[in-house]
Structures are given as structure tokens and as C-alpha cells.
Amino acid sequence: MNNDLTDEEHPCQALADLFTLLEKWNDPAGRTLAFVGDGNNVCASLIHAAALSGISFLAVTPPSHKPYAGADDDFKRLSVNDKASYSWSQSLSDLRGADAVYTDTWVSMGQEEETRQRMEVFAPYQVTPEVMEMTGKSAYFMHCLPAHRNHEVTDSVMDSPTSLVFEQAENRLHVQKALMLYLLAPRDVERYLHLDKWAGWS
């Protein structure tokens, strides 16, 4: 099944991620999703999905690996909640108040030659129990998988009660089936599943 993954975006993953969070939160108003590490394609699509869901977004990355140029403008343009915000920081201390912390692999496909350099750059951004505590709440942990344990995230966080990684993985199947149905028969989906109330996602 095509998941529309490119070097710039990963929209189907973001749909599954936001669906997973909406299962937990029900009402996304006032929530903040934080992304830690590499401001990559997953980060880009999460910026879009958060804006379309009324959720604030915080990217915490090294200055050399910030989200794409124009992310702030895109968030403002797509946001359905004028109280939601987009922000970037290089400091993990700014995670305070985040309701979910998301990270991704430091070395994606095609970047293997950069492995040593990337490991050095991102080492301070490993998601540990101490990093999760910086949120000041029992925040959810998220990862699109596959994960490199004890690189971008420690075992203790990956296997914690607040980890949603396996729920995200399951929801990828359900969301992509729903997306295919929506693309093939949008009127039937809106009529029978009442998806019109999520019009901001389309």
C-alpha cells in the first residue's frame, strides 16, 4: 500500500498519529504536540496535521536540523484554532507543558553515510525519562517506528505506560483504509460515518 512517503513529507503517518492522539484526548483544544530531534519529513507532516486539528506544535531540534523553511507560515495558514501556535526551540527545557513528545530515527533511509555526524548532533536530544519529566505532566510518547532503541529513545521511555508507539502502528492500517475509502467514495463516507465534522482535515 502506498503511504505517500517522500523526503519532504509523510502525510499518512501524520494522519495515524493524530487519530491516535484524538482517541486519547477526544478534544484537542489546548493540547501541545512536541517533536524532538530531526526536523524531517515526519515533523513536516505533523506540523500540517496539528494545525488542521487545532493543536499547538513545538519543534525542538538542533539549529542545523530545524523544520523546513516556511513551517511557521504554513501552520498559521492551515490552523483551524486561532489559539494554537507553532514554535521552534533548540532547548529541551521548552518542553514544559507539552502533552505528547514525538521523536523519529536520527538516520533515515539514504542518510547512512551521515550516521556518525548525525549521532553526534542528535545525542543531546535523546528522549529519556528525564526529558519526559520536563513536560511537567504525564505526557504521551510517540514514534513512527522502526525505532533504534537507546539512540533516539531509551528503552524505559519506549516501553513506558504512556508510550503510544504500538497504537500508532495499528492505527496506520485503519487510517489508510479509511483514506482509501474516502478518496474512492467521499459522499458515502460523509453520509454514513459523519466525517464532515472533521472537515478541517480534508
Domains, the chain, in order of start with CATH, read 11-201 (3.40.50.1370)
Cβ contacts of 70 within 8 Å, gap of 6 or more: none
pLDDT < 50 stretches in the chain: 1, 196, 198-199, 201-202
Question: What pLDDT, on a 0 to 100 scale, did the predictor assign at position 5?
Answer: 84
Question: What pLDDT, on a 0 to 100 scale, did the predictor assign at position 189?
Answer: 73
Question: What pLDDT, on a 0 to 100 scale, did the predictor assign at position 201?
Answer: 46
Question: What pLDDT, on a 0 to 100 scale, did the predictor assign at position 194?
Answer: 60
Question: What pLDDT, on a 0 to 100 scale, did the predictor assign at position 37?
Answer: 98
Question: What pLDDT, on a 0 to 100 scale, did the predictor assign at position 202?
Answer: 44
Q: What are phi and psi of 115, to 5 degrees?
A: -55, -50
Question: What pLDDT, on a 0 to 100 scale, did the predictor assign at position 3?
Answer: 65
Give the β-pairing of 32-36 and 140-143. unpaired
Question: What pLDDT, on a 0 to 100 scale, did the predictor assign at position 1?
Answer: 46
Question: What pLDDT, on a 0 to 100 scale, did the predictor assign at position 118?
Answer: 97
Considering only the C-alpha atoms of the chain, give the largest distance between any 2 of them, rounded to a whole number of Å. 52
Task: Single out the residue of 24, 8, 49 nearest to residue 99, CA to CA.
Answer: 24
Read off the pTM: 0.90
